[in-house]
Amino acid sequence: MAGDECPVLVVDDDESVLDSLRLLLESAGYRSMSFGSAEALLESGLVENACCLILDMKLPGMSGFQLQQVLTASHTPIPVIFITGHDCPGMVEQALRLGAMAYLRKPFDGQAILDAIQPLCRKGGGATIT
């Protein structure tokens, strides 16, 4: 199975997105852990042991971009896949500048997220934009 050694972390404030991503990831053989906010993720202490982070851009409190900046500033190397339902001009470029490995616009195809995760959990890969 693809991601047994480390979890895929998911941060989104929409419970239905968290549930559907959990089911998708588990059906593909990945272990996942979900969080409703950036702050909850940071408090968990699990970031350093994850293979990647699926991160919503618009969150209550700290935004996805702000969380990525905190992780970068603290030298916490975790590949990030940004997801958003609120795409605005310049967001893709900003996400890539912050080191995002992928940028997916909601609603996205389940296969698109699995394709973005797969190379990250094998320790490699390049950026994906859909």
- pLDDT at residue number 122: 67
The phi, psi pair for 90, rounded to 5°, reads: 90, -10
List pLDDT tens digits, range 96-114.
888 899 999 999 999 999 9
In terms of Cα–Cα distance, which of 25, 26, 30 is closest to 7? 30
Whole-angstrom CA distances from 98 to 95, 108, 113 are 5, 21, 19
What integer is the mean pLDDT of 3-13?
Answer: 83
Are 129 and 108 spatial neighbours (Cβ–Cβ below 8 Å)?
Answer: no
Confidence check: pLDDT of 5 > 80 = no
List pLDDT tens digits, range 23-73.
999 999 999 999 999 999 999 999 988 999 999 999 999 999 999 999 989
Whole-angstrom CA distances from 96 to 12, 51, 91 are 19, 18, 9
Q: Which residues are within 8 A (CB) of 17 and not within 5 positions of it... i.e. 6 or more apart?
A: 56, 83, 106
pLDDT band at 116 (very low <50, low <70, confident <90, very high): very high
The predicted model scores a pTM of 0.88
Convert 16-41 to b/e letters by CB count within 10 Å (16 or more is b): ebbeebbebbeebebbbebbbbbeeb
The Cα–Cα gap between 80 and 100 comes to 5
- The answer as to CATH 1.10.10.10 being correct for domain 3-129 is no
Reported as type and span, the H/E element at residue 73 is helix 64-73
Total Cβ atoms within 10 A of residue 92: 17
